Amino acid sequence: MTKTVQLAILSAAALLMVAACNKETGKDSGADAKYITVQASIAQTKVAVSGNSSFFETGDAISLYAWTGSDAVVADEKVVDGVVNTLQGDGSWTPAVQMKWADMVTPHYFIGLYPTRTVSDFKADPFTVDNTDYVASDLLVARNLAGLKATQNPVSLTFDHAMAKLLVNLNFRNQWDETPAITSCEATAAGSCTIDYLAGTYAVAGQSAVALTAKEAAEGYARSFSGIMIPQQGFRSVTITIAGQAYVYTHTEDIALEAGKYTILNLIVGRNKIEIGEVSINDWTEGTTLSGGQALQ
């Protein structure tokens, strides 16, 4: 379920003017728009929120950018330059400063970011995932590049996940008398990138050990780990460390990590090898399953 919320960025005087106009005409007063108002919704569930509900929570804040000129280039001089809007308990959004249209006839282009983020280069914004802070790593991006005019107020913004999510579920062979303590679970993948917000693309360079965070075990599994990941090709390996011993699973081909999707990797760990149960790459609600292979320690 997507809950839509509206950011009202109007002064008290403007509210009175709009109310009076609506009372007289009974019509939308968009033609008289001066202040930018925004309708914001989340297309898919935030990682920080459990379950399948999709909504902003009180205290959430978004950064809004707006400019004129071209949808292909974010102008240096912006109409709205990263203004922070914070959701209040009554459902209203409070801007740090008022946001105004440049004029009534010029097309405007919009990008929204959650959590709040200061961007200097919209074609190559550096970003690093940190799985000790899910909220900061679960970057949501909204783009409205239709070229809206003030008469088309309010601005509709639908936020999508910019990152991917990886879940690793583990079972263990009976060589262990009980579930062993796991020191770490790491994916060998790119943990940093630069983001092109207009194209929705990512540039990565090199791989490193990206730590995954322990979570409540999924049904049917002894241990589970998860993490936010940079969307990328080239991911194949997961390393599980038990009592100082590294157990490495390497898939026979690349496992895609796609924006707005999660990859589930089910593994069976033995003393001498890790076997694959299955690999699935899913949307937040559905997806396809890929057959897997086996890798020796």
Which tokens belong to 16? 């009175």
Cβ distance 36 to 155 under 8 Å? Answer: yes
pLDDT above 80: residue 21: no
Which tokens belong to 206? 């090199």
Distance, CA of 37 to chain centre: 23
Q: pLDDT, tens digit, for every residue of 269-287?
A: 987 777 777 666 665 433 3
Q: Give residue for tokens 């088309």.
A: 152
Percent of the chain with pLDDT over 70: 78
Average pLDDT over residues 39-58: 60
Q: Determine the residue type at 242.
A: I
Q: How many residues in total does the chain contain?
A: 297
Cβ distance 40 to 113 under 8 Å? Answer: no
pLDDT for the residue numbered 286:
35
Q: pLDDT, tens digit, for every residue of 202-236?
A: 999 899 999 999 999 999 999 999 999 999 999 99
Cβ distance 186 to 211 under 8 Å? Answer: yes
- Which pTM value belongs to this model? 0.80
Average pLDDT over residues 129-147: 94
DSSP 243: T
Q: Burial of 199 by CB count in 10 Å (0-12 exposed, 13-18 middle, 19+ buried)?
A: exposed
pLDDT for the residue numbered 2:
37
**Three-state secondary structure call for residue 19:** helix
pLDDT above 50: residue 24: no
Q: pLDDT, tens digit, for every residue of 259-270?
A: 999 899 999 998
Which position has the higher pLDDT, 39 or 165?
165
pLDDT above 70: residue 88: yes
pLDDT above 80: residue 3: no
Q: pLDDT, tens digit, for every residue of 110-126?
A: 999 999 999 999 999 99
Distance between CA atoms of residues 164 and 265, nearest Å = 14
Rounded to 5 degrees, φ, ψ at 261 are -130, 160
Which tokens belong to 178? 């009980």
Q: Burial of 58 by CB count in 10 Å (0-12 exposed, 13-18 middle, 19+ buried)?
A: exposed
Distance between CA atoms of residues 162 and 71, nearest Å = 19
Q: Per-residue confidence at 7, pLDDT binned at 50, 70, 90?
A: very low
Which tokens belong to 30? 């968009």
Which position has the higher pLDDT, 88 or 148?
148
Which range among 10-24, 107-121, 123-137, 255-269 shows the weakest confidence by mean pLDDT? 10-24
Domains of the chain, start order? 5-161 (2.60.40.2620), 164-296 (2.60.40.2630)
- The average confidence (pLDDT) of the chain is 80
